[in-house]
C-alpha cells in the first residue's frame, strides 16, 4: 500500500517539521525547510546537494568548489557523494577541500560499491582520506541490486560486516543502503538488518511501474514508493529521495517544480539533486524555500500523465546506474 497523505502528516511528528536555520530571524529571506533524518536525529535541508556526475560537469576546480560553498551559504546542509564519483575519487576530493573549514555546517554522506569485506574496508578508509575527515555522518552501501547482490552483501565476509564495523569504530555515525532499481530487494534488506538510513529512487515516473519489463522471469510488480518506502517509514529510518528527474527521462515531461515537489511531498527527509550549473542551484533553492506539499490526488495525477514508455525506459536505464 502506498503512503497516504494522512500517514505523511503523521510521520511529520517524528521528522518532517521545518525548522529555522540558527542565527537567522523570521523576517529574513525564507530559508530552506529542514526535516529530521529519521531515527538519526540529524536535521537536514529538504534539498540535498548531489555530488555525482552532475557535479563532475564543473570542469573548473575553483568553480566547482565555489558552487558547493554557495550551496552551503544558501542553506543546503546535506552533501551526497560516493567513492566512485569522478575519476580517481574527484568528487570526494572536491568535497573534502570545501569541508576543511566548514565541517560543522554539513551532514556528510558517502557511499561505496565494494562487495567483499576487505574491498569495502579499503574503500571506506580511502573515502575518509579523500574527504579529510575521521568520520562521515552517513555511510551507505552503494546501489543494492537483486537477490544475488543481497546474498553477496550478507555473506560472512561481505559488505555488511564492513558497514557494521565502520559504525562500531566511529568511522560513520549512521549506516544504510541506496537502491536504484530493486524495490523488493531493498524492502527485504531493510526488514532484515539494523540500518539507520536509506536512499532510493522516488519520483513521479515510478508509481505503478513494474521493474522487470525486459526480464524472462517477471518480478513482482511494484516500485519504491509502494514497496520499500513503507518499510523504511515503519522502521523509522532516515529516508532520502533520489532520481527526482529520472536521470533526465522525466525532464520536460512535467514542470521542474512539480517533479521536485512530488518527491519532497513523500515521507522523506530530503530530495538529493545534481545541479551542474549555478543557475540550477539557484532555481532549486528557490523551489525548496517555497515548497508546498502536493496532495495524494495531485501526485497521482502527475504520475499518470507520464507515458508508460518513458517509465519503462527510465527503469531499464536505472537498473545498472550508479549515480545519485
Active site residue ranges = 85
Q: How many helices (H) and strands (E) does the chain have?
A: 12, 10
Distance, in Å, from the CA atom of 273 to the CA atom of 289, rounded to the nearest integer, reads: 15
Distance, in Å, from the CA atom of 238 to the CA atom of 268, rounded to the nearest integer, reads: 7
Residue 10 φ/ψ, nearest 5 degrees: -65, -35
- Record the cell numbers describing residue 201, joined without a space: 529512487
Strand partners, 109: 80, 138
Distance, in Å, from the CA atom of 7 to the CA atom of 300, rounded to the nearest integer, reads: 16
- Record the cell numbers describing residue 138, joined without a space: 552517513
Distance, in Å, from the CA atom of 77 to the CA atom of 71, rounded to the nearest integer, reads: 8
Helix (H, G, I), strand (E, B) or coil at 312: helix
Contact 175, 139 (CB under 8 A): yes
Half-sphere exposure in the Cβ direction for 41 (13 Å, CA): 1
Half-sphere exposure in the Cβ direction for 276 (13 Å, CA): 10
Amino acid at each position: 500500500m502506498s503512503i497516504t497523505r494522512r500517514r505523511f502528516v503523521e510521520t511529520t511528528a517524528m521528522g518532517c517539521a521545518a525548522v529555522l536555520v540558527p542565527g537567522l530571524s523570521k523576517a529574513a529571506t525564507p530559508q530552506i525547510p529542514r526535516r529530521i533524518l529519521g531515527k538519526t536525529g540529524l536535521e537536514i535541508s529538504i534539498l540535498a546537494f548531489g555530488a555525482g556526475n552532475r557535479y563532475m560537469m564543473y570542469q573548473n576546480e575553483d568553480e566547482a568548489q565555489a558552487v558547493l560553498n554557495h550551496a552551503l551559504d544558501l542553506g543546503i546542509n546535506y552533501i551526497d557523494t560516493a567513492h566512485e564519483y569522478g575519476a580517481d575519487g574527484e568528487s570526494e576530493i572536491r568535497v573534502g577541500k570545501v569541508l576543511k573549514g566548514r565541517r560543522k555546517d554539513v551532514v556528510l554522506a558517502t557511499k561505496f560499491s565494494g562487495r567483499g569485506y576487505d574491498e569495502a574496508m579499503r574503500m571506506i578508509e580511502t573515502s575518509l582520506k579523500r574527504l579529510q575527515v575521521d568520520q562521515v555522518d552517513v555511510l551507505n552501501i552503494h546501489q543494492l541490486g537483486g537477490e544475488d547482490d543481497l546474498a553477496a552483501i550478507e555473506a560472512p565476509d561481505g559488505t555488511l560486516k564492513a558497514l557494521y564495523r565502520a559504525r562500531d569504530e566511529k568511522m560513520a555515525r549512521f549506516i544504510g543502503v541506496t537502491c536504484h532499481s530493486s524495490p523488493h530487494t531493498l524492502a527485504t534488506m531493510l526488514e532484515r538488518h539494523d540500518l539507520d538510513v536509506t536512499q532510493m529512487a522516488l519520483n513521479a515516473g515510478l508509481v505503478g511501474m513494474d521493474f522487470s519489463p525486459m526480464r524472462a522471469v517477471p518480478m513482482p510488480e511494484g516500485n519504491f514508493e509502494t514497496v520499500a518506502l513503507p518499510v523504511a517509514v515503519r522502521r523509522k529510518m532516515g529516508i532520502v529521495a533520489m532520481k527526482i528527474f529520472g536521470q533526465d527521462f522525466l525532464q520536460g515531461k512535467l514542470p521542474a517544480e512539480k517533479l521536485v515537489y512530488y518527491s519532497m511531498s513523500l515521507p522523506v527527509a530530503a530530495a538529493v539533486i545534481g545541479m551542474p550549473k549555478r543557475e540550477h542551484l539557484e532555481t532549486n533553492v528557490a523551489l525548496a524555500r517555497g515548497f508546498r506539499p502536493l496532495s495524494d490526488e495531485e501526485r497521482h495525477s502527475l504520475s499518470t500523465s507520464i507515458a508508460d514508455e518513458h517509465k519503462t525506459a527510465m527503469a531499464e536505464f536505472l537498473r545498472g546506474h550508479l549515480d545519485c
